[in-house]
């Protein structure tokens, strides 16, 4: 009788053991899967750790090209007299330039313009005293920047010759340009990158990590500013930037570095 009961209970006990084993496997699988998933999320979050920094590079340069406008004007009611006066102004200006060692290749004559003010309509009906306005000029374009700076300060000599030198559209006159940016671009970008990496290194030390590779980089825009300006570098006007012979070339690069343990 007892042997019969044991045989009957044995299949039931075996079923329980199988169920427990399956449950154990499922639990172990979930635990292992959870570890991998959790570890994967951790790595993903860690991989997104980065720092955005800016690197600055500046260099002092000297302008290598100058533009100087010598514009003159004459007025009157007799066209031939006014035209003769403007021709004499041109001759005197050319003699002035030759006297100070400018060559013909350093400048060009600008077109002469004539305005007949009587040909214009006036609402008041009053005509101006001078009927004709004739303007002419010489544009100096040269790499002799030191000569331009020196001679442009001698405009009193032109005034003594009866030449009234005018400024066009309120432009800086002379204007000094730096045209060799491509020659210094690579070393300046390297300097800006080095500056940015130093900032990232300090951040990494403070956050108990170290700097990895570059995730993203923006070289930034090069600025050419007047070194002698008293105005702020970010607010200086175009005229202010062009009026000085010495320039500050500046670039700010933005770089994202990954952070690692």
Domains delineated in the chain: 50-62+180-260 (3.30.110.170), 65-176 (3.30.70.2970)
- Please give the pLDDT value at position 226: 87
* The pLDDT value given to residue 49: 82
> Can you give the pLDDT at residue 11?
58
- The segment with the largest mean pLDDT, out of 60-74, 123-137, 199-213, 219-233, is 60-74
The pLDDT of residue 157 is: 85
Average pLDDT in the 140-146 region? 97
- pLDDT higher than threshold 90 for residue 168: no
Better-scored residue on pLDDT, 216 or 162:
216
Residue 111 has pLDDT above 80, yes or no: yes
SS3 assignment, position 35 = helix
**Which pTM does this prediction carry?**
0.72
* Residue 171 pLDDT class (50, 70, 90 cuts): confident
pLDDT tens-digit series, residues 27-41: 665 555 444 433 333
Report, as an integer, the average pLDDT of 222-244: 66
Task: Give the whole-angstrom CA distance, residue 75 versus residue 86.
Answer: 9
Q: Per mean pLDDT, which of 1-5, 7-11, 218-222 is the most reliable?
A: 218-222
* Whole-number pLDDT of residue 38: 37
Looking at the chain, the whole-number percentage of residues with pLDDT higher than 70 is 72
Helix, strand or coil for residue 116? strand
Q: Sorting pLDDT into bands at 50, 70 and 90, what band is 232?
A: very low
Peptide bond just before 174 cis, omega within 30 deg? yes
Please state, in angstroms and rounded to a whole number, the distance separating the CA atoms of residues 19 and 81: 120
**Is the predicted pLDDT of residue 20 greater than 80, yes or no?**
no
Phi then psi dihedrals of residue 78, to 5 deg: -105, 115
């Amino acid at each position: 009788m007892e042997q019969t009961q044991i045989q009957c209970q044995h299949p039931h006990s075996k079923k329980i053991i199988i169920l427990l084993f399956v449950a154990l496997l499922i639990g172990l699988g979930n635990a292992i899967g959870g570890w991998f998933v959790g570890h994967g999320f951790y790595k993903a979050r860690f991989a997104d750790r980065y720092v955005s920094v800016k690197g600055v590079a500046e260099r002092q340069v000297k302008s290598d090209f100058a533009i100087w406008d010598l514009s003159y004007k004459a007025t009157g009611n007799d066209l031939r007299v006014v035209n003769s006066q403007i021709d004499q102004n041109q001759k005197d200006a050319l003699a002035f330039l030759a006297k100070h060692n400018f060559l013909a290749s350093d400048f060009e004559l600008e077109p002469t313009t004539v305005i007949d003010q009587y040909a214009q309509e006036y609402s008041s009906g009053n005509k101006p005293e001078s009927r004709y306005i004739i303007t002419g000029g010489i544009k100096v374009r040269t790499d002799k920047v030191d000569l331009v700076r020196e001679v442009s300060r001698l405009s009193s000599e032109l005034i003594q010759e009866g030449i009234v030198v005018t400024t066009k559209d309120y432009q800086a006159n002379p204007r000094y340009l730096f045209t060799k940016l491509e020659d210094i671009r690579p070393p300046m970008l390297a300097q800006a990158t080095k500056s940015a990496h130093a900032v990232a290194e300090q951040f990494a030390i403070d956050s108990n990590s170290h700097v990895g590779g570059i995730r993203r980089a923006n070289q930034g825009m090069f600025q050419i500013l007047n070194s002698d300006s008293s105005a702020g570098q970010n607010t200086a006007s175009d005229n202010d930037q062009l009026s000085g012979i010495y320039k500050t070339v500046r670039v700010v690069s933005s770089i994202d570095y990954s952070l690692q343990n």
